[in-house]
Amino acid sequence: MLCRDHTDNKFIECAITAGADCIITGNKDLLVLKEYNGIKIITAKEYLEIVNP
């Protein structure tokens, strides 16, 4: 099991398959991971702070 809510694993699996750098989400079950397999898991606010410093 990747995520504490197993129904959210599909988002991690999709990001891995797509070669994504990050997952942008408000889902607390994903956010607690912070990173998985080199893929950062961040909020929309965190993403905006990265692209618009």
Residue 3's pLDDT is what?
A: 83
Say yes or no to pLDDT of 44 above 70: yes
CB atoms within 10 A of CB 22: 15
Distance, CA of 10 to CA of 3 (rounded, Å): 10
pTM attached to this predicted model: 0.87
Q: How confident is the model at residue 2 (pLDDT cuts 50, 70, 90)?
A: confident
* Max Cα distance, the chain (Å): 35
pLDDT tens-digit readout, 3-28: 888 899 999 999 999 999 999 999 99
Residue 45's pLDDT is what?
A: 97
Q: What is the mean pLDDT of the chain?
A: 93
